[in-house]
Amino acid sequence: MRSLFKSKSKKENIRIILGMVMLADELPLNKDAFYQDFIKNYSRKAKKITGDNSVSTITIDCQLVLIAHMPVPIPNSDIERTAEYAYNWETAVEDTKDHKSHLIVSITSGDASTIERFKIFTEVICSLLRTTNAIGVYKGNQSLLIQKESYLDIASHMDDETLPLYLWIYFGIRRNENGFSSYTYGLKEFNKLEMEIIESSKSPEEIQSFIYNMTHYVLDYDVSFKDGQTCGMSADERIPITLSKGVFVEGESFKLSY
Q: How far is CA 83 from CA 3, 147, 150, 180, in A?
A: 39, 11, 15, 21
Decide: 183 and 196 in contact? Cβ < 8 Å. Answer: yes
Q: Which residues contact 57 (CB under 8 A, 6 or more apart)?
A: 49, 50, 51, 64, 65, 66, 67
Task: Give the whole-angstrom CA distance, residue 227 versus residue 206.
Answer: 23
Task: Give the whole-angstrom CA distance, residue 98 versus residue 88.
Answer: 20
Domain segments of the chain as ranges: 17-164, 169-256
Partner residues linked to 105 by β-bridges: 19, 67
Torsion of CA 117, 121, 127, 129, to 10 degrees: -160
Report the pLDDT value the prediction gives residue 97, as an integer from 0 to 100. 93
Task: Give the whole-angstrom CA distance, residue 24 versus residue 36.
Answer: 22
Report the pLDDT value the prediction gives residue 14, as an integer from 0 to 100. 76
Global pTM exceeds 0.75: yes
Report the pLDDT value the prediction gives residue 12, as an integer from 0 to 100. 59
Report the pLDDT value the prediction gives residue 108, as an integer from 0 to 100. 87
Report the pLDDT value the prediction gives residue 5, as an integer from 0 to 100. 42
pLDDT (tens digit, 0 to 9) for every residue of the chain, 258 residues total? 443 344 444 455 678 999 999 999 999 999 999 999 999 999 999 999 999 889 999 999 999 999 999 999 999 999 999 998 899 999 999 999 999 999 999 998 788 999 999 999 999 999 999 999 999 999 998 999 999 999 999 999 999 999 999 999 999 999 999 999 999 999 999 999 999 999 999 999 999 999 999 999 999 999 999 999 999 999 899 999 999 999 999 999 999 999
